[in-house]
Amino acid sequence: MIVCKVCKSKKIKLFVKIKNLIYWRCLLCKAVILDNQHYISESKEKKHYLKHNNNMKDQNYRKFLSKILIPLKSKISVNDFGLDYGCGYSPTLVDILRKDGFTVDFYDPFFFPNKQIFLKKYKFITCSEVVEHFIDPYKEFKKINNLLDNSAWFAVMTSFFNDDIIFENWYYRKDPTHIVFYNKKTFQIISQQNNWLYEFPTENIVLFKKK
């Protein structure tokens, strides 16, 4: 890896090698990134997502999603048009938001590759357990910026990495489709690069606001 995939800084160094897996760390945004050579194929990736038990009727999963929805809903109103970016094969977040009266589109590159979304602007966008899968995070955040209307909110949920976590043993690292690990500093740099405001309302959640 020559540049950081999140912020494009050239200041990256080898972070750790675990068995045959190489991880890099950016000295600017502090993201930890799995080396490209270990990325699994798209077909394997898709199969992996189908194994995830994110069933719409699963009450525990719906409760888990409330972690991102509660802080977001304090910022938006039911008249706001939203998008769930990376909804997976079972768009549960969309189901909850629609039941709550919101109008929401959804997009997933594997399961709902609806390119129409790129012609629209949204008042809020959610990425729940999505950003850790981004192959090109810098580009994805720019794409999301283009989808955000002025003063729109962008809510992200992912497990934040911090120095108290033993990276090698971390369950989140062990998922073969998790290739980028963020922390508060990473999100601060992303917000600067996109001219967004940011806040951390609760653990593992960041809310961005387009200016």
Q: Which residues are at the interface with Zn ion (CB under 5 A)?
A: 4, 6-7, 9, 26, 28-29
Q: Does residue 58 come out as left (phi exceeding 0), alpha (psi in the -120 to 50 range) or beta?
A: beta
What the block records as the tokens of 44 is 């394997």
Could you tell me which of 78, 178, 72 has the C-alpha nearest to residue 125? 72
3-state secondary structure of 211: coil
CB of 77 to Zn ion, least distance (A): 35
Q: Which is nearer to Zn ion, 16 or 70 (CB)?
A: 16
Q: Which is nearer to Zn ion, 26 or 155 (CB)?
A: 26
**Spatial distance between the Cα atoms of 130 and 151, rounded to a whole number of angstroms:** 22
CB of 178 to Zn ion, least distance (A): 17
CB of 39 to Zn ion, least distance (A): 18
Q: Which is nearer to Zn ion, 25 or 133 (CB)?
A: 25
Q: Which is nearer to Zn ion, 126 or 186 (CB)?
A: 186
CB of 182 to Zn ion, least distance (A): 10
Q: Which is nearer to Zn ion, 25 or 210 (CB)?
A: 25
Provide the edge-to-edge strand list for the sheet that holds 148-157. Answer: 103-107, 81-85, 122-128, 148-157, 205-210, 196-199
CB of 137 to Zn ion, least distance (A): 9
